[in-house]
Chains A and B, each alone.
Chain A
Amino acid sequence: MLRIPCPHCGVRDEPEFVFGGPTHLSRPDPAVSDAVWADYLFARENLVGLHYERWLHAYGCGCWFNAVRNTLTHEIVKTYPMGEPKPPLEEPS
């Protein structure tokens, strides 16, 4: 169980939250090619390291927010409100 710092409510248990997948994705113009659209739908980085993702504090404030999580250690390095730009972070060594 993760302990997740909601930017609005503070640290809460993971069962209060809903995971929303990668964040800072932009929805392409529908005029793009099938390949670009399919990439938007299905291609995900699945990286080892810092992952930018979104969470919903469903059983709390009801707000979606962004989080940076280390996919190796599960450590949540930072959370920030939806709409804020991607914070610059150093990859863990």
Chain B
Amino acid sequence: MKARSGPHRVPRGGRVDRTRIIPFEFNGRRFDGFAGDSVASALLANGIRVVGRSFKFHRPRGFLSAGIEEPNGLLTMGEGAASTASIRASVEMLVPELKVRSQGGWPSLGFDLGRALDFTASLWQAGFYNKTFIWPSWHAYEPAIRRMAGLGHAPDGPDPDRYELRNAHCDVLVIGAGVAGLRETLAAAQTGARVVLAERDLECGGETLWNGATIEGGIGTGWLEGALSELEALPEVRVLRGTTAVGIYDDRVTVLVERLAVAPARGDASGGRRAPRERCWIVRAQRIVLATGAIEQPLIFENNDRPGIMLAGSARQYLRRFGVALGSRVLIATNNDSAYALARELKEAGVTVLGLADTRPRAPSELSAALKSAGIDVFPGSIPVGTAGFSGLKSVKLGHLNSDGSRVDPGELFDCDALAVSGGFTPALQLYAHAGGALAYDPSSGALLPVRPVRGVTTAGAAPHGTPAGVRVSPSGRSGRKWVDLLHDVTVADLELALRENYTSMEHLKRYTTVGMAADQGKTSAAATLDVVARLRGMAPTELNHTTMRPPYVPVTLGAIAGRELGERYAPRRELPIRGWHAANGALMHDYGEWRRPTVYMRSGETRESAVRREVMAVREQAGLFDASPLGKLEIHGPDAVDFLDRFYLNDLTTLKPLRARYGLMLRESGVIFDDGTVTSLAPDHLVVTTTSAGARNVFQWLEEWRQCEWPQLRVAIVPVTEQWATISLSGPKARAILAGLDSDIDLSAESFPHLGFREGRLLGLRARIARVSFTGELTYEINVPARAGRTLWEALLSVGAGEGLQPIGLDALLSLRLEKGFLHIGTDTDGTTIPDDVGWGRVAANKRRDFIGKRSLGLPDNKRTDRHQLVGLASVDRAAFVIGSHLRIAGSAHASDGWITSAGMTALARQPMGLAMLREGRARVGEEVDVYDLGARVGRARIVNTPFFDPAGERMNG
């Protein structure tokens, strides 16, 4: 005897392999399925009717469909960190030892306390969260609601699975490998085009695989085999099975997700590398053909959500593809021709068919005659009006519709365990809408059909057509028990309430009721929503707009989106040329923008704070060595180089002499400070500009934009060279003595090489550029050598400087040193509103006669306001440390805040809090005291002081 694998498996038929038993687990119980089963078909074959609890009311639910539209059969697959929530059991293929479990239902699927919600359903209407949980505050209710609501749980640990990304280009992308898609693929491929064919199923063929249709005079499956072998022979055709198109974006860029290995087949986490689980494809196609078929719609009537009620086309698929009957006593209700075939086929399979109700006043004569001759009753002008059965359908009551379908009278009661329904077919045109196509309601089929073409996107097969259909929504019954959206538990009553509250725009109605917003994105509810709303408003559905359809078409795992761009691969990182040394010498590394840099070099027994202080003291008393390689560096070449740069800096560059450097500020055209750095003249036609580390790319693009777009006549070229040079900053009173210990042809004496001087020469036999610019307030040599030689120089300096107390210093120490000097840190002390005068550069800007970018804007009224915030120093009155972001308040001020702290630290010698702040009319308030607030509380008192906090005369860096 052949294995049956479950009481609902019919004796023969289907594409499952009855010789291969596939054991699996559902809610901890062992079951058997056959090779070729979906998870849903295996569960149905075993007589499992309830697979989940509904989202809001915790009603028992069973499978509605056999496809991607499934709103009820969402299960959690796998265990632990590798588990995936809300997989659609209707399209997930069964593999050995698969473990699935239902979601919702507490403490168990069978006994769900949340079911109490259903008995109080009238309290849980649209907008109930907003209306109900407002006293004393939403936060009092949120934890309990979050426990009750939602579908499945995100796993706790990091996903052990691997995911991949592939990019592809093709002439034609065909989505859907049913007969229409295969024909389009063959036609395109025969012209020599490169074609990608994506099929959601693991088998190509669509419903022709199982519907017994005849194609070109032969058996449909025979035609499929011929077409597929023809495709195999075409080298330019790539067929992707198990691959779903999830979105079409601008210029037909399409994202596909390909399912690879299913959980148990992937190997376990300990057994080396796992096979990738999913592959995301980004396909750039010249042309796209959508052969995505159609999605069957349900009928809407009272208690239409009971387990055992299934779409007729899906019931047919379960029967013919998987050999599973949806029940033993079946009633069928339809508003179109498609369900007649199911009635005959169920009967042939030995299932009791109680009859077929057609909502149309006149049933099609040929089809109904055929059923009658097979002994199946046809009830024209009928629609279900009610059902009974708590955890599975027990009976259905039919009603008789009047001629225009506006009224229904109760009719016969049928004892049955399954009801197959068909409310017509809506072409799956979501992808068409993603691509920019417009859809409109077609009254004859009750479907949304294309009305505006999209360049490069066409439809084929069932996709562009709807089928003519009758009434879809029963006019009778309690509207609170007529489900429109099964996954979000939205009923006709919710739509009524929203309309009463004047949510008449379909977009507002959708957001208020959440209809169509669940993981299935309204695949079986959008059409009915239009029908119901049109009826309630007394309009035609054609007068309503449908809501916008957006990617993804089906749920996508975060893993597929992330691919391998995780952890260290999340973003490209820029590494210092001397990183190896830093790593080996106790550097605490952090990411600063794209660069990973030493924050501080820790010695054993030190805290981060004490280590920073040691480094600061080293620079003040001996010397420190700082890896400044990320400093932005641009070379400006050409006879007009000075003229060009002078148009950007608020400082006059025309007086800059060769071998001299000058600090400068660069503005946006609005007058806001953009970046700062030094401009160094190597020769009249060769300058080097430094930028902030974070601004290097932006400054280069900014200069290039003006050079290319506005002043192409200037003879100038810009070369970014940040990465070509290792930049090492040697700073401190011993800096000259230490540098003099290295072999060089550069005269380091203060007379020959003063502050803001520049020299190019040989150092340790290396090509070197040295500038005397200081961010620490100490005598500083900023030494540039070719990047590859950076470590050689770094180690040579540390070796020769060891006797002088030279130490490497990190970014924390550097920023503390600069804060003591009151030097500006762009982006820290400045923001998108800061103009030069706010930070004390107003006079320099005003004194430059020549126009420069941003100059004109400094004269605009807002930039001349006298009550602007100005950068000032802060000293603590009560020794409370400053916190960046704290707010300042002037006694008696009319403002909630008069400013904020931008930089904070401790002075190195006296260990006193110091800070910089933007304060309203700050420069006029030096000597005054202000209150400091942090997160709403007063935390201290500060005195406004002049900067710098250290060496005001600047003698040390000039030495």
Q: Using an 8 Å CB-CB cutoff, how does the interface string of A63-86 with B read, 1 for contact, 0 for none? A: 110000000011100000011000
Chain B residue numbers with a CB within 8 Å of A23 are: 709
Chain A residue numbers with a CB within 8 Å of B855 are: 30
Chain B residue numbers with a CB within 8 Å of A56 are: 701, 704-705
Chain B residue numbers with a CB within 8 Å of A30 are: 851, 855-856
Does A62 lie at the interface of the complex (its beta carbon under 8 Å from any beta carbon of B)? yes
Q: When chains A and B are docked, how far (Å) is the Cα of A30 from the Cα of B670?
A: 13
- Interchain nearest-CB distance for A59 vs B (Å): 11
- Interchain nearest-CB distance for A54 vs B (Å): 7
Does A44 lie at the interface of the complex (its beta carbon under 8 Å from any beta carbon of B)? no
- Interchain nearest-CB distance for B815 vs A (Å): 30
Does A9 lie at the interface of the complex (its beta carbon under 8 Å from any beta carbon of B)? no
Would A3 and B851 be within 8 Å (CB), given that A41-B669, A56-B705, A62-B704 are in contact? no
Q: When chains A and B are docked, how far (Å) is the Cα of A10 from the Cα of B897?
A: 53
Q: Using an 8 Å CB-CB cutoff, how does the interface string of B424-450 with A read, 1 for contact, 0 for none? A: 000000000000100000000000000
Interface size class of B (residues with CB under 8 A): 20 to 34
User: Contact: B253 with A34, CB < 8 Å?
Assistant: no
Q: When chains A and B are docked, how far (Å) is the Cα of A77 from the Cα of B252?
A: 15
B828-875 residues at the A interface, CB under 8 angstroms: 851, 855-857, 859-861
Chain A residue numbers with a CB within 8 Å of B282 are: 1
Would A58 and B701 be within 8 Å (CB), given that A34-B859, A37-B856, A82-B708 are in contact? yes
User: Contact: A54 with B701, CB < 8 Å?
Assistant: no
When the two chains form the complex, which single residue of B250, B670, B710, B712 contacts A41, counting CB atoms closer than 8 Å? B670
Does B129 lie at the interface of the complex (its beta carbon under 8 Å from any beta carbon of A)? no
User: Contact: B712 with A82, CB < 8 Å?
Assistant: yes
Does B795 lie at the interface of the complex (its beta carbon under 8 Å from any beta carbon of A)? no
B285-327 residues at the A interface, CB under 8 angstroms: none
Q: When chains A and B are docked, how far (Å) is the Cα of A2 from the Cα of B253?
A: 8
When the two chains form the complex, which single residue of A54, A62, A74 contacts B709, counting CB atoms closer than 8 Å? A54
Does B284 lie at the interface of the complex (its beta carbon under 8 Å from any beta carbon of A)? yes
Chain B residue numbers with a CB within 8 Å of A73 are: 436
Does B79 lie at the interface of the complex (its beta carbon under 8 Å from any beta carbon of A)? no
Chain B residue numbers with a CB within 8 Å of A74 are: 250-251
Does B407 lie at the interface of the complex (its beta carbon under 8 Å from any beta carbon of A)? no
- Interchain nearest-CB distance for B166 vs A (Å): 14
Of all chain B residues, which has the CB nearest A24?
B709
Residue picked from B251, B455, B704, B859, most chain A C-beta under 10 Å: B251
When the two chains form the complex, which single residue of B252, B455, B860 contacts A38, counting CB atoms closer than 8 Å? B860
When the two chains form the complex, which single residue of A1, A20, A37, A83 contacts B705, counting CB atoms closer than 8 Å? A20
Would A1 and B455 be within 8 Å (CB), given that A54-B709, A56-B705, A83-B712 are in contact? no
Residue picked from B282, B455, B669, B705, most chain A C-beta under 10 Å: B705
Q: When chains A and B are docked, how far (Å) is the Cα of A49 from the Cα of B392?
A: 56
Does B249 lie at the interface of the complex (its beta carbon under 8 Å from any beta carbon of A)? yes
Q: When chains A and B are docked, how far (Å) is the Cα of A30 from the Cα of B860?
A: 11
Q: When chains A and B are docked, how far (Å) is the Cα of A84 from the Cα of B76?
A: 59
Chain B residue numbers with a CB within 8 Å of A62 are: 704
User: Contact: B708 with A1, CB < 8 Å?
Assistant: no
- Interchain nearest-CB distance for B844 vs A (Å): 18
Q: When chains A and B are docked, how far (Å) is the Cα of A37 from the Cα of B249?
A: 38
Interface size class of A (residues with CB under 8 A): 20 to 34
Q: When chains A and B are docked, how far (Å) is the Cα of A38 from the Cα of B284?
A: 42
Q: When chains A and B are docked, how far (Å) is the Cα of A58 from the Cα of B702?
A: 12
When the two chains form the complex, which single residue of A3, A20, A82 contacts B250, counting CB atoms closer than 8 Å? A3
Chain A residue numbers with a CB within 8 Å of B704 are: 56, 62, 64
Chain A residue numbers with a CB within 8 Å of B249 are: 1
Q: When chains A and B are docked, how far (Å) is the Cα of A63 from the Cα of B250?
A: 23
Q: When chains A and B are docked, how far (Å) is the Cα of A79 from the Cα of B456?
A: 20
- Interchain nearest-CB distance for A76 vs B (Å): 8
User: Contact: B860 with A34, CB < 8 Å?
Assistant: yes
Of all chain B residues, which has the CB nearest A18?
B701
User: Contact: B857 with A41, CB < 8 Å?
Assistant: yes
Chain B residue numbers with a CB within 8 Å of A2 are: 250-251
Q: When chains A and B are docked, how far (Å) is the Cα of A53 from the Cα of B860?
A: 27
User: Contact: A1 with B701, CB < 8 Å?
Assistant: no
Of all chain B residues, which has the CB nearest A83?
B712
Q: Using an 8 Å CB-CB cutoff, how does the interface string of B691-702 with A read, 1 for contact, 0 for none? A: 000000000010
Q: When chains A and B are docked, how far (Å) is the Cα of A58 from the Cα of B700?
A: 10
User: Contact: B251 with A63, CB < 8 Å?
Assistant: no
Q: When chains A and B are docked, how far (Å) is the Cα of A3 from the Cα of B856?
A: 38
User: Contact: B856 with A1, CB < 8 Å?
Assistant: no
Q: Using an 8 Å CB-CB cutoff, how does the interface string of A14-29 with B read, 1 for contact, 0 for none? A: 1000101001000100
Chain B residue numbers with a CB within 8 Å of A34 are: 859-861
Chain A residue numbers with a CB within 8 Å of B856 are: 30, 37
Would A82 and B709 be within 8 Å (CB), given that A1-B253, A3-B251 are in contact? yes
Chain B residue numbers with a CB within 8 Å of A82 are: 708-709, 712
Chain A residue numbers with a CB within 8 Å of B250 are: 1-3, 14, 74
Chain B residue numbers with a CB within 8 Å of A63 are: 708
Of all chain B residues, which has the CB nearest A4?
B251
- Interchain nearest-CB distance for A3 vs B (Å): 4
Q: When chains A and B are docked, how far (Å) is the Cα of A81 from the Cα of B436?
A: 29
- Interchain nearest-CB distance for A92 vs B (Å): 11
Of all chain A residues, which has the CB nearest B853?
A27
Of all chain B residues, which has the CB nearest A76?
B251
Q: When chains A and B are docked, how far (Å) is the Cα of A73 from the Cα of B456?
A: 13
Chain B residue numbers with a CB within 8 Å of A75 are: 251, 455
User: Contact: A1 with B709, CB < 8 Å?
Assistant: no
Q: When chains A and B are docked, how far (Å) is the Cα of A56 from the Cα of B709?
A: 11
Q: When chains A and B are docked, how far (Å) is the Cα of A36 from the Cα of B860?
A: 11
- Interchain nearest-CB distance for A43 vs B (Å): 13
- Interchain nearest-CB distance for B441 vs A (Å): 22
Chain B residue numbers with a CB within 8 Å of A37 are: 856-857, 860
Of all chain A residues, which has the CB nearest B698?
A18
Of all chain A residues, which has the CB nearest B668?
A41
- Interchain nearest-CB distance for A42 vs B (Å): 8
Of all chain B residues, which has the CB nearest A14?
B250
Chain A residue numbers with a CB within 8 Å of B253 are: 1, 3, 13
Residues of B bordering A, CB below 8 Å = 249-253, 282, 284, 436, 455, 669-670, 701, 704-705, 708-710, 712, 851, 855-857, 859-861
Chosen A-B contacts, 28 in total, with CB atoms closer than 8 Å, are A1-B249, A1-B251, A1-B253, A1-B282, A3-B253, A13-B253, A14-B250, A18-B701, A23-B709, A30-B851, A30-B856, A34-B859, A34-B860, A37-B856, A37-B860, A41-B669, A41-B857, A56-B701, A56-B704, A58-B701, A62-B704, A63-B708, A64-B704, A64-B708, A74-B250, A75-B251, A75-B455, A83-B712
Q: Which 3 A-B pairs have the closest CB atoms?
A: A3-B251, A30-B856, A64-B708
9 other A-B residue contacts (CB within 8 Å) besides A30-B851, A30-B856, A64-B708: A13-B284, A20-B705, A20-B709, A23-B709, A34-B861, A37-B856, A56-B704, A63-B708, A82-B709
